Amino acid sequence: MAARGRLHKVDNTVIPSDSDLDDAQSPLDLGRLYGFTEDDIAHFYSFRRHGHHIAYTEYVRDLEQARVPPAKTAPAGTPSDR
């Protein structure tokens, strides 16, 4: 349960539409749709496979097949509410 606290949503994210959710093919796409950072998504893959090497393989495969672009990052110097 404590690991859940490590995920941080990006500020001002939009709730994805049902059609966007239907198009999502992987946890990577879903994470991006909900505005999670790339680091948080990678942590999810690692946590899901208990740090096993297969987590890296799955993450890279999903990166290559991703349908959803990465979330836009805030410009440098912008305060974050983490």
Q: Is 75 contained in some domain?
A: no
Name the CA dihedral angle for 68, 72, 73, 79, rounded to a multiple of 10 degrees: -120
Distance between CA atoms of residues 2 and 33, nearest Å: 24
**How many domains does the chain divide into?**
1
| pTM (whole model) above 0.75 | no
Q: Is 31 contained in some domain?
A: yes
What are the tens digits of pLDDT across the range 12-52? 556 788 888 888 899 999 999 888 889 999 999 999 988 78
* The residue type at 81: D
Please give the pLDDT value at position 62. Answer: 94
Domain that holds residue 38: 14-64
Residue 76 or 63, more confident = 63
Express as a percent the part of the chain with pLDDT over 70: 70
